[in-house]
Chain A
Amino acid sequence: MPHSDVLIVGGGPAGVAAALSLRKAGVQRVTLLDREASLGGATRHCSHSPFGMLEYGRLYFGAAYGRRLERDARAAGVEVLTGHSVASLDPDGTVEVSNAEGLARLSAERVLLSTGARETPRSARMLPGDRPVGVLTTGALQSYVAFHGLMPFRRPVILGSELVSYSAALTCLSHGARPVAMIDTHARPLARAPVTWFPHIVGVPVRAGVRIIDILGRSRVEAVRIEHQGTLETFECDGLLVTGNFVPEAALLWQAGHELNLRSGGPAVDQNGRCANPRFFAAGNLLRPIETGGWAFREGRAIGLEIARDLRNPPSDRSPVTVTHDEVVKLVVPNLLRRGQAPSPGFDRFQIRFQKPCRGRLSLEVDGRTRWHRSGTWLPERRVLVPMPDGVEGSHHIHFAFREE
């Protein structure tokens, strides 16, 4: 007999919300696995940003939000297994888990993957230079501060212009580190004003549209050299903070040979959050980097309901249609549609991101007919939502087209 009705891998907002809604829908055996010692996922170390306004009607900071999630999950009768690291997934819904007692295999009727997202490190960005100590991501910096009361540097250069980049600068300043500069490869910041005014207000030099030429340092970072508008500039520093550029934490899926959405880096899912392998579902930032904690929570809650519904039948045997898109569109979620399953609160809208800034007309073509369109200026890392037209799941060709204007 399977260990559970539903196994959930990842106890961030998405995984916990799914567990709660599964229990609420009457599913008996819900098991939530997380490899960390406590629930909350990435919110545990985000000590600046408040969470929980929409789901709980009050604000929680950092780890307190995770504790609230954990309390609620336990109170709802969810089997919470922290310190349990999922090492591999079998196609039949069995997962291999390592915990302090060793290895175990757990199986379930359905498995929900909600392993979140992380930042792209220096290596995957192929940044040049030496490879000394002191090159970190924001997630790592926040963990130094939030969990250990440590700092990895005093005078970092910060790379990036996403919301998280400014949050990183704030973390530095409130913990005795002084950013030497904020630099970014994009010509204009990815975040919106007024956040982007922040470095100017606190007097941190800003350089946009740069190229990193060199990272110098024998054992620890000593300097970062950039090219900026045709001139070279060197910032002496003791660290480089590489921020943002999130990617889904999809290692388990790669290993298990799951069908991936190569553009999002996460699993391909249908309108119910169901993967190509119909025993598996996915929700939260694993689907697409990156949304807020509140978004992940709501997504998890909706997919949890979908799973509860899906459990009443054997796993779907319908083969999905893949949603296609033009090149400037970076990703579409969901990017699969299964026939005969009306869109439901799982996803009633397509989530879209653009590859680069552009102006033009985005349209949704369904079996050769334009079912939706909008013209405008589109920026990367901004959320675009397109309502799913009625009956879209029964069609053969679903394509997002773009025409420059």
Chain B
Amino acid sequence: MATLSDERFDVAIIGGGVVGCAVARRFALAGAKIVLLERGTDILSGASKANSAILHTGFDAPPDSLELELVKAGREEYLAIHRDHGLHLVQTGALVCAWTELEAEKLDGIAQQGRSNGVAGLNLLTGAEARTLVPGLAQSLCAAVEVVGEHVIDPWSAPLSYITQAMALGAKVMRSCELLSGRFDGDWELETSQGLVRAGAVVNAAGLFGDVVDDRLGLTPEFSIKPRKGQFVVLDKAARSLVPKIILPVPNEITKGVVICPTAFGNVLVGPTAEEQEDRTRATVETETLEMLKEHGSRLIPALRHVPVTAIYAGLRPATEKKHYRVVSRPEKRAITLGGVRSTGLSAALGLGQHALKLYSEFGVPLAAPNEVPHVQVPNLTETEERDWQRPGHGEIVCHCEMVTRREIEAALTSPLPPGDFGGLRRRTRAGMGRCQGFYCNARLAELTKGHFVEPLAVSGRT
């Protein structure tokens, strides 16, 4: 097998999900020479491409868990760096809504648990008080807990900014590059679909394939992944004013439950479901489930009934047989596994980066002097801040529903990590993500992206 280069990396990260991107950034800032291997044609090909985009406080995380610690650490770091990265925060707050007396009885415990988890800003509200905050909620609301600190972020720009900052420090990102096997003999020799890669340590951030990658590395996996699908319905921007806050249910044991959530892009999503499945790659949507979600949203906020559906999607959570994160460090093998980051990885990613670096420091392999923090700013896609179409010289508006300009598309295509596929372009610019789903712009996008994607939009030229 061909060696890709004579380069030796301090750390190889397997997986370009939000966790891998955040780990890459943290290690690069600490002075490590990084390579990130991603099997998909773009980063965020797995669990990280489809989530609810909530920056959690940890109010409902298991007490005294690593997850709680890392959600809080991750959130704190996000709050500290987001402006520098050009990232934004939609300070919505959330309402945990009780729709029956039985649920209402649980609210006090939820608030207390949240406080003892170290989360401030938890307020018990009557149904009427909650409805002053979200007037569209159905009359039948019994009571609620307000969680002031639950916020909404852009789930794609955040990891993009992490990995872009790592790349500015020399990190190498290899896409369409699957880890096939690995051998450790003081150094790691990693066999990939693109050749051999040598590194001093590995971090397994392979999400839905965390156990498979451990196995391929010859590390006996300590968990097995049980994918859990979550389907969503995205409602038109017309719904946004009806949903000023994240509407959470009283959780049960299995899942956080179906949420009605404003997005940073100005629409509203209803989801996710929690469906166990074997398949780790297929995240299909199902008509009946989507209808059920739409109906659910309309029951809780009746005015949503008339709002059209913009998009539908599904994501897979890298759940395991246990509820908690499955973080394993093997100093003797210089290997760290960040597994089972099931349903809070967007919030905890930066915390996982810190934690992984701490575990690495226990290996006793010093890194070069820490690097200066390079300035990295991703373009704003959120509705709360100025967008490119509002500024002169944008060329033209290509995607009319999401108001994406030609300048934005060209910038994405020429960025340090240009999109490898159409999904990647959508995540970087929002082009084609709106209510018409490409009726107006898909052909223009095919033209503008010629030669850029592994799977092109157009199959051939004029016939």
Contact = CB atoms under 8 A, between A and B. Distances in A.
Interface of A: 35, 37, 83, 85, 87, 98, 100-103, 118-119, 121-124, 126-131, 133, 136-137, 139-141, 143-144, 147-154, 175-176, 214, 218-220, 238, 247, 249, 251, 254-255, 260, 262, 265
Contacts of A100: 392-396
Contacts of A262: 306
B281 A218 contact: yes
A102 B405 CA distance: 11
Interface in B221-241: 233-234, 236-238
Interface string B27-50: 000000000000001000000000
Interface of B: 41, 233-234, 236-238, 281-287, 290-291, 294, 306, 308-313, 389-397, 400-401, 403, 421-422, 435-440, 442-444, 446-447, 454-455, 457-463
Contacts of A219: 41, 421, 454-455
Which A-B residue pairs are the 6 nearest by beta carbons? A176-B463, A143-B443, A121-B437, A102-B392, A149-B462, A254-B238
A85 B284 contact: no
Given A85-B400, A251-B401, A123 B460 contact: no
A177 to B, nearest CB: 8
A87 B459 contact: no
16 contacts: A121-B438, A122-B437, A123-B312, A126-B285, A126-B309, A127-B287, A128-B287, A129-B285, A130-B284, A131-B312, A137-B439, A150-B458, A151-B459, A152-B443, A220-B455, A251-B236
Contact of B443 (A101, A150, A249): A150
Nearest to B421: A219
Contacts of B421: 133, 219
A206 B391 CA distance: 49
B462 A150 contact: yes
Contacts of A150: 443, 446-447, 458, 460-462
B455 A140 contact: no
A102 B184 CA distance: 57
Nearest to A220: B455
Contacts of A124: 308-310, 435, 437
B438 to A, nearest CB: 5
Contacts of A238: 459
B422 A133 contact: yes
A98 B437 contact: no
Contacts of B283: 130
Contacts of A148: 443-444, 446-447, 458
Contact of B389 (A37, A98, A119, A130): A98
Contacts of B400: 35, 85
Contact of B446 (A85, A123, A128, A144): A144
Contacts of A118: 436, 439-440
Given A100-B392, A137-B436, A262-B306, 17 more contacts: A37-B396, A85-B397, A102-B391, A102-B392, A123-B311, A126-B233, A126-B285, A126-B290, A126-B291, A143-B442, A144-B442, A144-B458, A148-B444, A148-B447, A148-B458, A150-B447, A150-B460
A36 to B, nearest CB: 9
B227 to A, nearest CB: 15
Contacts of A220: 455
B310 A123 contact: yes
Contact of A151 (B236, B285, B397, B460): B460
Nearest to A155: B459
Contacts of A103: 390
A136 B442 contact: yes
Nearest to B282: A130
Contact of A251 (B237, B397, B444, B463): B237
Given A121-B437, A129-B284, A147-B443, A98 B237 contact: no
A133 B457 contact: yes
A87 B287 contact: no
Contacts of A123: 234, 309-312, 437
Nearest to A154: B459
A85 B443 contact: no
Contacts of B436: 118, 121, 137, 249
A128 B455 contact: no
A152 B287 contact: no
Contacts of A98: 389-390, 394, 397, 403
Contacts of B446: 144, 148, 150, 152
Contacts of A133: 421-422, 455, 457
Contacts of B234: 123
Contacts of A37: 396
B455 A87 contact: no
B286 A247 contact: no
Nearest to A131: B313
